[in-house]
Structure 1
Amino acid sequence: MDIRFLESFVIVAECGSIAEAARRLNVTPATLAQRLRVLEGDLGHSLVSRAGRTVRATGAGLAVLPHARQLVEAARDLRAIAASDVPAGQLRLGATATALTGLLPQIVTTLNARHPSIDYFVRPGASVDLYHQVIGGELDAALIVQPPFAIPKSASWLTLRDEPLVLIAPEGFAEEEPRAMIARHPFIRYDRNQWGGQLVDAYLRGNGLRVREWLELDALDAIATLVHRGLGVAIVPDWAPPWPAGLALRKTVLPGGATRRTGVLWSRTGARIAAVRAMIDACAACYPTGKTVPG
């Protein structure tokens, strides 16, 4: 049984679309459909059903899916193990929205130049979710906000960027002292379920600031866009550029404000540890002022 065919089935089941899965795998939809037919012939059961452009796993497909994932992962691990200490195989990475655009491109570019045998699977998500996926072994490493607690000994942390809290307001608003501006205008809050949002909440409470909150969002680019449109002010971490294009914003670093630390969390064990170490070296090269915190 060809591992590529199993991987094709897994991707189709995750995407729910032959066309989207074909784009991910860089093959034609016809090639992907043929792989599914061959796999179904080998197993003697239909694995997917089609309804228009939507594809869903059948009962047999759902039963096979977790085992197929394990086999595909095991095959990737074998390639990494065979490479011994040479960084190779697939790195399973996670990244927050701001890290995905502001940090990851430079890191991957550097890593590609040094170790072209490494390829990548990247999962976007919130810091708290990606943290648990690294600790649980689903991901090898993730670019996230530093957790507000000690990390376990099975993992390590490298700070890549310190991001002070800034008050953002439209350029057209009259210049005021931050406390007065926060009191005067509607406030767009950074989601308190996010670790960065908890820093903002702690700053407001610690400084006795009461806000006229009308919206709470977890997307920093959306917050910045709403502020640009004159719908309020907000406190956000000064995340790595690029920020959304065309925004006319005034940033003010808050006195005594906390700093959000963004960095990389990684598992210290696993079949892909050589590739993980190579990635951490690339991170340190791209952001040389970072600080490592072992678990």
Structure 2
Amino acid sequence: MELRQLEYFVAVVEEANFTRAAERLHVAQPGVSAQIKRLERELGQELLDRSGRTVSLTEAGRAVLPHALAALTSVQSARDVVDALTGLVRGSVSVGMVTACASADLTELLSRLHKKHPGLDISLSEDDSHNLLAGVLDGTFDIAVVGVAGDLPEGLESRVITDERLVAGVAANHELAQVSSLPFVELETRSVICLPKGTGIRTCFDAACAAVDVTPTVALEASNLGIIVSLAAQGLGMAVLPESAVGQLHRIDLEPEARSRLELVWRVVGGKNPAASALIDLARVASAE
């Protein structure tokens, strides 16, 4: 008995037709028929009823089918185990990234994965944090970089990439250029320049405003922190951004303190995708470094 015979037998059962099974297997139809006949001769029983318009299982075929499926599953499991042990991870991995993210951590992680498994297909997509979290939970994404303003949904594990204070920045000739701190409520009467909704930093900013019941007056939005700094430097408003991005602007601490946090997230219990498992393992190692 050969694994090929079992594979052909299962394909014919699932397709209920020799021709369609042969097309699925990319082999000639007579070859499929011949291998299944050999299997039947070896077992001493007909496994398939060929008398109708579609192929169906005989009583013996119904008894054999679960064992054939189990054998093929075991063989695939053995291959997966060998792949994992030898590091020959194949397949694809889907990565999500919050809009306007410029994370060196993510690019470094993907670079490590590519160097370790150069045959791996990696896809990268942008979306807002809410959709990315939902996508990780439902399996659309294997791993994602998101802006996190509170606790993660149950079932996710994460590694913090950045955790910075949110501050305001104004031009040197701005009327607040001598001010060192400002309550969030002042943002209701000031022209605010910030990232658009859906970005990680904006998610954290909106959550901080909601926590103190403040509705900021957002005058300008840009998806690039450098442009936000430039707009503020031209006197077009007050930029709200992470403290590391203030640049030449005069920094003003917002009160109460609010944080901008980016996290790399993945499912606690992953699927059977060895490629995704390899990426998650690298993320866990990076967390411990």
TM-score between both structures, scaled by the size of structure 1: 0.54
Tell me which of 198, 214, 228 is aligned to 1:223. Answer: 228
Q: Hey, what does 1:46 align to over in structure 2?
A: none
Structure 1: runs of 5 or more not aligned: 1-76, 290-295
Answering whether residue 146 of structure 2 is matched by residue 141 of structure 1, we say no
Q: Hey, what does 1:162 align to over in structure 2?
A: 163
- Provide the rounded CA distance (Å) in 1 between the counterparts of 2:249 and 2:164: 17
Q: Per-residue displacement from partner, 1:219-241 (whole Å, max 9, x unpaired)?
A: 655533422332101322347xx
Answering whether residue 199 of structure 2 is matched by residue 197 of structure 1, we say no
Q: Per-residue displacement from partner, 1:204-259 (whole Å, max 9, x unpaired)?
A: 466687855434566655533422332101322347xxx69xx7434445454122
Q: Hey, what does 1:94 align to over in structure 2?
A: 96
Q: Hey, what does 1:234 align to over in structure 2?
A: 239
Q: 1:93 to 1:100 in 2, by over 3 A?
A: farther
Q: 1:205 to 1:139 in 2, by over 3 A?
A: closer
Deviation at 1:277, TM superposition (A): 3.4
- Provide the rounded CA distance (Å) in 1 between the counterparts of 2:188 and 2:141: 42
Structure 2: runs of 5 or more not aligned: 1-75
Deviation at 1:95, TM superposition (A): 0.6
Q: Hey, what does 1:271 align to over in structure 2?
A: 272
- Provide the rounded CA distance (Å) in 2 between the counterparts of 1:213 and 1:119: 40
Answering whether residue 216 of structure 2 is matched by residue 175 of structure 1, we say no
- Provide the rounded CA distance (Å) in 1 between the counterparts of 2:192 and 2:164: 20
Deviation at 1:262, TM superposition (A): 1.0
Q: Hey, what does 1:32 align to over in structure 2?
A: none
Tell me which of 120, 123, 127 is aligned to 2:122. Answer: 120
Contact 2:204 2:261 in 1 (8 A): no
Contact 1:92 1:122 in 2 (8 A): yes
Q: Per-residue displacement from partner, 1:160-199 (whole Å, max 9, x unpaired)?
A: 2212212122344333233288588522355566664354
Which piece of structure 1 moves more, 250-259 or 191-200?
A: 191-200
SS of alignment partner, residue 109 of structure 1:
helix
Deviation at 1:117, TM superposition (A): 3.3
SS of alignment partner, residue 257 of structure 2:
coil
How many residues are matched? 205
SS of alignment partner, residue 110 of structure 1:
helix
Deviation at 1:144, TM superposition (A): 0.9
Contact 1:97 1:124 in 2 (8 A): yes
Q: Hey, what does 1:25 align to over in structure 2?
A: none
Q: Per-residue displacement from partner, 1:269-291 (whole Å, max 9, x unpaired)?
A: 2232x3333323433555547xx
% identity of equivalent residues? 20
Rg larger in structure:
2
Q: Hey, what does 1:262 align to over in structure 2?
A: 262
Given residue 159 of structure 1, which amino acid in structure 2 is its aligned partner? V
- Provide the rounded CA distance (Å) in 1 between the counterparts of 2:235 and 2:258: 25
Q: Hey, what does 1:9 align to over in structure 2?
A: none
RMSD between superposed Cα atoms in Å: 3.8
Deviation at 1:131, TM superposition (A): 1.4
- Provide the rounded CA distance (Å) in 2 between the counterparts of 1:141 and 1:205: 28
Deviation at 1:127, TM superposition (A): 1.1
